[in-house]
């Protein structure tokens, strides 16, 4: 008989319990009879809630077309939100907003690392997720799958009765989970370890057991799937599907580059290479393959609920934490951009009271999921949540008058503006941000950014153009004057000393002629006029200073002569070139995937690093004038030189490593030093010269007694050195040279630092030691990554090779690198959708502004900021600032109100003034701000007319 040991998976134990229960209670029943058995039980009064959450699933790229089971069970039998967005296109911040119903600035989780599952999160915000409210209301809650990126599995978050949480980030194989407080590792066996199937099986077991033993209690489950996040490992039965899926290329933004009118990151990205196109095609295929298991899980949930008789009493919500892009705007892959493909996500919902087969155009977000779940459970939504329940959007969904071609009419009492932000504001960024804010008005940088978006300031300059705008390294616009014809021709014109003397003589002759003409014509003036040009007296230096100056000049001449001799000697030695060629060959083999540029570089009298330029032994450079005649040729030539400089820097680093290795593996020297003088050594192999020993040096620096300390410090000088030694300053002995002292000093500091580290580690607990080890590994990875040839300054890049994917289909086209993110890509945006407007307005931390009107530019190809009126920019800026500081649904529910034109504004002011005279003192007649009307029920209230309607209804109710 086999016993259930600790190594047995918990799902097998649950299966044994289910088998025993079925044999004892319902043995002999068929599947239809089993459904009737559960159907006779009294269901709970409150509905069940199931949330299916995918990771990195796109909506714009067409991934939902390849999930027919989900569309059949959810989209056809429920409602589709066509304008569903996330507050942050990053995993951990978006999931934190989904759990708490808060914007990023209120839960303080800005990135996947900073504050993600931190102590602050656990103490402040994790205790107020929707799970805690549901658990207190009697729900049986269960979480299955990925939680947060930095979740370490040491605890179970509050509010969850059943917990199967993934430790760290998404994986399909070779992962560890926390199963109700116990860590269990899974390997590479598909039948036991594939994570998507594990989530589906464990959640179904929890649902069955809950309805069997607690039939009157509702169930709330979260199925957080890893798909289609990397490493894109699909189930084996789906590894052959979709070889020709290219829906992501249908967007016009695919490989749309370069983009000089967009933020700094996209300005640095150019067209993709052929290997990048092949990579995006395979990556899209593998992502679709991973989603097939999610599609099966959704159907399994629906069938199980139908079997239990709970389908009509269950809400099923399907969404993702953010979108994804594949080659769009030249970015090979990634997220975190403020564009539709990254912030728009799928959203489907079915359940009691949900109209079937309809689309809802109102804008909703991930901050609305938590309030909606609480509203479905009949729990009052807390005031601190920024989101609102979108359950009220389904009202009137069964009436034909509210549906046009399968789409419900847009509710006017709902928000139309949503906040999208990304990135953490550091102290330096905060200073820049404060500098950009100028008493509510646009700063100089913002006005300059708008002005530089005009075509007359485009770079490079053309004929008759006065100014051009150029972005500096910080991402800020700088305006420069165009200098036509100022390109260098490559010819140096130098003035000789003789030419200068001739110019002085001609100037004196001109002055003499002028004086003779004007001074000698007066009465009483002598006809003979001979002007004298008196030079200023020479300032003589003191004799000692003159002697010193002559000495310095001789010394400088001597140095120049020695430098010329040294350069000639180096040129003679470089003619051999054997060692340099061997090192270059070795370095080419060590850099994987990198082919160094072929050069004709030699270290002879005239080195030629490039076909257009020549370097001479005196460090002078001469280039072909053709290079300076064309801007494109000059740019191409300069880029080539930059790449070669980067390559030779890497080569220099490798040579330094080789040199350090040679020093470390230095063989035992003979008893003769480098200068040929014999060494006198003692029995321990140390020299007997007046050189301090290492042990004595340590004693002195630590304040102990030694032969150089108190014992021998009889005279004043030795006593002084002894005191200095005890205080940890200079040692009381002579060195052969300063190099020896630096070596001893470095060794002492290293040993002392090592002692401190050892003492610190001795006081650490096991968890702190593990955390320290992880930090060290992370630093090592960061250092190794910084030396990677794929990395660029201020840009985050990734490298891909044949070993990246371990499940078919495999990548076989070799390594490559690509960049996907920058350090200054911090932004705040408002996404507005209503009956008259459909736009995206963003402000970046660098001061860059962007505006995209999706009505006439649905793919956001052109930044139309220069076409926006200044008053409209002021309104959008004020709206964005209000959303960035809002707290609670009343402040965070905003409807966009564009400013009226001058004539309309005067008419509105006249109407308001006349209205005040008629109903003076009435609260309903007071003018209201155009912003922040809050979370109000009923019709929208504007001005005094709405107030009169409310008062009339109130009087009728009182009567």
pLDDT, one tens digit per residue, over 661-690 is 787 777 754 443 444 444 444 444 444 444
Q: What does the pLDDT look like over 772-814, one tens digit per residue?
A: 777 777 777 666 655 555 766 677 788 888 888 989 999 999 8
Q: What does the pLDDT look like over 901-922, one tens digit per residue?
A: 444 444 344 444 444 444 444 3
Q: How far is 699 from 488, CA to CA, in rounded Å? A: 64
Pinpoint the alpha helices (H) of 520-621: 543-574, 578-590
Pair of tokens at residue 545: 């200073």
Q: For the chain, how far is it from start to end, CA to CA, in angstroms?
A: 80
Contact 342, 336 (CB under 8 A): yes
Q: Which of 637-651, 751-765, 770-784 has the lowest mean pLDDT?
A: 751-765
Mean pLDDT of the chain: 75
Pinpoint the alpha helices (H) of 787-900: 870-885, 889-892
> Which residues have CB under 8 Å from 848's CB, separation 6+?
263, 264, 449, 475, 477
* Closest among 79, 124, 82 to 102, alpha carbons compared: 124
Q: Is residue 179 classed as helix, strand or coil in its secondary structure?
A: strand
- Give the pLDDT mean for 109-133: 89
Supply the pLDDT for residue 450.
77
Q: How far is 273 from 454, CA to CA, in rounded Å? A: 30
Supply the pLDDT for residue 247.
92
Q: How far is 346 from 334, CA to CA, in rounded Å? A: 18
- Give the pLDDT mean for 416-431: 79
Query: Which helix H or strand E contains 183, and what residues bound it?
Result: strand 182-186
Q: How far is 892 from 498, CA to CA, in rounded Å? A: 79
Q: What does the pLDDT look like over 168-225, one tens digit per residue?
A: 888 999 999 999 999 999 999 999 999 999 999 999 999 999 999 998 999 999 999 9
Measured in degrees and rounded to the nearest 5, phi and psi for residue 178 equal -105, 105
Q: How far is 880 from 420, CA to CA, in rounded Å? A: 10
Query: Which helix H or strand E contains 374, and what residues bound it?
Result: helix 369-376
Q: Is the pLDDT of residue 86 over 90?
A: yes
What CA–CA distances, in Å, run from 546 to 5, 540, 543, 553, 556? 97, 8, 5, 11, 15
Pair of tokens at residue 641: 């030189």
Q: Which residue has the tokens 């089993």?
A: 34
Catalytic sites, residue numbers: 91
Supply the pLDDT for residue 9.
52
For the ranges 275-289, 736-750, 900-914, the maximum mean pLDDT occurs at 275-289
Supply the pLDDT for residue 97.
95
């Amino acid at each position: 008989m086999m016993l259930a040991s600790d190594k047995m998976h918990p799902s097998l134990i649950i299966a044994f319990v289910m088998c025993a229960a079925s044999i004892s209670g319902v043995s002999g029943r068929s599947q239809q009879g089993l459904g009737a058995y559960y159907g006779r039980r009294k269901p709970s009064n409150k509905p069940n809630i199931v949330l299916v959450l995918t990771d990195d699933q796109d909506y714009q790229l067409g991934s939902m077309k390849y999930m027919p089971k989900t569309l059949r069970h959810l989209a056809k039998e429920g409602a589709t939100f066509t304008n569903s967005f996330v507050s942050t296109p990053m995993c951990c911040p978006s999931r934190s907003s989904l759990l708490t119903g808060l914007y990023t600035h209120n839960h303080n989780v800005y990135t996947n690392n900073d504050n993600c599952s931190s102590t602050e999160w656990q103490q402040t915000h994790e205790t107020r997720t929707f799970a805690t409210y549901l658990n207190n209301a009697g729900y049986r809650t269960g979480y299955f799958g990925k939680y947060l990126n930095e979740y370490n599995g040491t605890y179970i978050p509050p509010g969850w009765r059943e917990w199967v949480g993934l430790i760290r980030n998404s994986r399909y194989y070779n992962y560890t989970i926390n199963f109700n407080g116990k860590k269990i590792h899974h390997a590479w066996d598909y039948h036991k370890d594939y994570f998507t199937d594990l989530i589906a099986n464990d959640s179904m077991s929890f649902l069955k057991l809950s309805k069997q033993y607690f039939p009157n209690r509702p169930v709330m489950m979260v199925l957080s799937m890893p798909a289609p996040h990397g490493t894109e490992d699909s189930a084996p039965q789906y590894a052959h599907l979709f070889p020709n899926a290219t829906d992501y290329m249908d967007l016009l933004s695919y490989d749309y580059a370069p983009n000089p009118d967009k933020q700094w990151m996209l300005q640095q990205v150019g067209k993709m290479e052929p290997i990048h196109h092949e990579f995006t095609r395979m990556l899209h295929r593998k992502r679709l393959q991973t989603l097939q298991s999610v599609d099966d899980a959704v159907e399994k949930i629906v069938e199980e609920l139908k079997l239990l008789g709970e389908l009509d009493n269950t809400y099923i919500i399907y969404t993702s934490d953010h979108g994804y892009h594949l080659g769009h705007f030249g970015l090979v892959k990634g997220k975190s951009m403020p564009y539709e493909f990254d912030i728009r996500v799928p959203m489907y919902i079915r359940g009691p009271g949900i109209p079937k087969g309809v689309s809802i155009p109102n804008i909703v977000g991930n901050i609305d999921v938590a309030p909606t779940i609480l509203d479905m459970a009949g729990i009052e939504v807390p005031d601190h949540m920024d989101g609102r329940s979108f359950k009220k959007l389904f009202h009137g969904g069964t009436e034909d008058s509210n549906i046009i071609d399968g789409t419900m009419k847009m509710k006017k009492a709902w928000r139309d503006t949503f906040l999208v932000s990304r990135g953490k504001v550091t102290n330096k960024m905060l200073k820049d941000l404060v500098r950009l804010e100028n008493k509510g008005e646009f700063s100089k940088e913002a006005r300059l950014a708008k002005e530089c978006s005009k075509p007359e300031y485009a770079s490079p300059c053309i004929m008759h153009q006065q100014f051009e705008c150029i972005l500096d390294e910080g991402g800020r616009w700088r305006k420069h004057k165009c200098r036509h014809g100022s390109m260098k021709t490559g010819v140096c014109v130098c003035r000789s000393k003789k030419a200068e003397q001739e110019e002085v003589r001609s100037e004196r002759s001109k002055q003499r002629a002028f004086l003779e003409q004007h001074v000698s014509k007066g009465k009483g003036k002598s006809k003979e006029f001979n002007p004298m040009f008196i030079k200023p007296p020479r300032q003589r230096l003191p004799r000692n200073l003159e002697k010193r100056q002559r000495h310095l000049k001789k010394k400088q001449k001597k140095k120049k002569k020695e430098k010329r001799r040294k350069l000639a000697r180096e040129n003679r030695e470089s003619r051999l070139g054997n060692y340099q060629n061997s090192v270059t060959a070795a370095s080419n083999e060590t850099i994987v995937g990198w082919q160094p540029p072929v050069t004709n570089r030699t270290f002879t009298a005239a080195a030629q690093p490039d076909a257009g330029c020549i370097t001479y032994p005196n460090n002078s450079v001469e280039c072909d004038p053709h290079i300076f005649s064309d801007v494109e040729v000059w740019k191409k030539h300069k880029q080539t030189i930059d790449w070669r400089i980067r390559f030779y820097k890497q080569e220099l680093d490798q040579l330094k490593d080789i040199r350090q290795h040679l020093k470390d593996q230095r063989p035992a020297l003979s008893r003769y030093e480098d200068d040929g003088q014999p060494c006198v050594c003692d029995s321990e192999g140390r020299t007997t010269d007046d050189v301090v020993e290492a042990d004595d040096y340590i004693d002195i620096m630590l304040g102990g007694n030694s032969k150089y300390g108190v014992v021998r410090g009889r005279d004043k000088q030795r006593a002084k050195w002894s005191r200095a030694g005890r205080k940890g300053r200079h040692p009381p002995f002579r060195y052969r040279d300063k190099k020896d002292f630096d070596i001893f000093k470095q060794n002492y500091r290293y040993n002392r630092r090592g002692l401190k580290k050892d003492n610190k580690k001795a006081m650490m607990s096991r968890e702190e030691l593990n955390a320290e080890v992880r930090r060290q590994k992370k630093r090592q990875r960061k250092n190794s990554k910084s030396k990677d040839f794929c990395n660029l300054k201020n840009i985050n890049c990734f490298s891909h090779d044949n070993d990246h994917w371990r499940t078919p289909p495999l990548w076989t086209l070799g390594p490559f690198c690509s960049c996907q993110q920058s350090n200054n890509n911090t932004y705040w945006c408002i996404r507005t959708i209503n009956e008259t407007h459909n736009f995206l307005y963003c402000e970046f931390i660098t001061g860059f502004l962007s505006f995209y009107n999706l009505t006439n530019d649905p793919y956001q190809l052109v930044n139309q900021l220069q076409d926006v009126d200044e008053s409209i920019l002021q309104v959008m800026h004020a709206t964005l600032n209000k959303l960035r500081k809002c707290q609670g649904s009343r402040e965070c529910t905003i409807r966009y109100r564009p400013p009226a034109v001058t004539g309309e504004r005067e008419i509105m002011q006249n109407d308001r003034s006349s209205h005040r005279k008629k109903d003076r003192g009435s609260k309903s007649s007071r003018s209201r701000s155009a912003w922040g009307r809050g979370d109000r029920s009923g019709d929208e209230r504007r001005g005094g007319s709405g107030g009169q309607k409310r008062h009339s209804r109130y009087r009728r109710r009182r009567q």
